[in-house]
């Protein structure tokens, strides 16, 4: 069985649904599972055309704070089980995690916290990441196949930002954040995009300022990681930089079981 997955931080589902670029993509995608981050809407506020989209099982996790955070997954494959959050109250009030179990793998759709200006939320983010990693390792040790996607709000290596020296000390490129991605890899998880493309200039987020996208002055913040045991099941992983509608673009993964 082939499964195509997409992940996209849409920077507000109500805003992006007003854009032709979004619908040109959504109406023509062949993805089996679509993961959205930064939905910023309650389930009742999801635009009708999207809420009523045929052929999808729809899952949402919204933040207690209105108009903030939130994730949603549209799946043509019926989930076996859906869990909202990590099971830790401190982290779950912001609607950042959907854990969706399928017959062949468990999918995590995550909108990772931003560490904030001058790292004011760094401790919260590191705590969130460490709790997630603990759970991922436990599942991996149980023999589960795992797919971890979303906006990680972390650029891992110098190759993942347009100007590494200028980005030092900035939220999303702090040593503690980047070190956590090292820990994720050391625990046996693989950045699928880098399996296929190790070149520079591959980004998934661009500031709306200074014509950053036109100049490709971006960061790679959006990922699909999998556990190393299913590395051979990974058939492709891409960044769809030509898809507009948000300050992020979609990223994809294709698996074969």
Domain of 150, CATH number, reads 3.60.10.10
Q: Point out the residues of the chain with pLDDT beneath 70.
A: none
Instruction: Return the beta strands (E) in 158-256 as ranges.
Output: 189-191, 205-206, 218-219, 222-227, 234-239, 251-256
| Given the residues 32, 151, 191, 247, the one annotated as active site | 151
Q: How many CB atoms lie within 10 A of CB 222?
A: 24
Q: What is the pLDDT of residues 40-62, one digit of tens each?
A: 999 999 999 999 999 999 999 99
Q: Which domain holds residue 228?
A: 2-256
pLDDT at 113: 98
Number of domains the chain is built from:
1
Angstrom distance (rounded) from CA 13 to CA 237: 24
CB 69 within 8 A of CB 96: yes
Give SS3 for 133: helix
Closest to 96 in 3D by CA, of 140, 56, 60: 60
- Helix segments in 109-235, DSSP class H: 122-141, 164-167, 175-186, 192-196, 212-215
92 assigned to active site: no
């Amino acid at each position: 069985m082939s499964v195509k997955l997409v992940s996209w931080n849409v920077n507000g589902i109500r805003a992006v649904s007003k854009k032709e670029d979004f619908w040109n993509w959504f109406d023509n995608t062949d993805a089996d599972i679509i993961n959205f981050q930064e939905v910023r809407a309650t389930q009742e506020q999801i635009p009708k055309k999207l809420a009523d989209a045929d052929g999808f099982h729809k899952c949402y996790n919204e933040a207690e704070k209105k108009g903030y955070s939130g994730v949603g997954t549209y799946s043509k494959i019926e989930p076996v089980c859906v869990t909202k959050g990590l099971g830790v109250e401190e982290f779950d009030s912001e609607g950042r995690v959907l854990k969706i179990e399928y017959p062949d793998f468990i999918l995590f759709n995550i909108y990772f916290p931003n560490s904030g200006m001058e790292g004011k939320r760094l401790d919260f983010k590191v705590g969130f990441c460490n709790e997630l990693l603990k759970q991922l390792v436990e599942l991996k040790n149980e023999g589960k196949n795992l797919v971890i996607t979303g906006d990680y709000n972390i650029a891992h290596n110098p190759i993942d930002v347009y100007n590494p020296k200028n980005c030092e000390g900035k939220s999303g490129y702090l040593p503690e954040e980047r070190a956590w991605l090292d820990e994720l890899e050391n625990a046996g998880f693989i950045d699928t995009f880098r399996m296929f493309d190790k070149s520079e200039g591959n980004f998934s987020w661009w500031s709306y300022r200074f014509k950053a996208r036109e100049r490709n002055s971006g960061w790679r913040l959006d990922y699909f990681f999998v556990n190393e045991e299913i590395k051979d099941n990974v058939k492709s992983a891409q960044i769809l930089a030509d898809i507009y509608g948000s300050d992020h673009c979609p990223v994809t993964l294709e698996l074969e079981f």
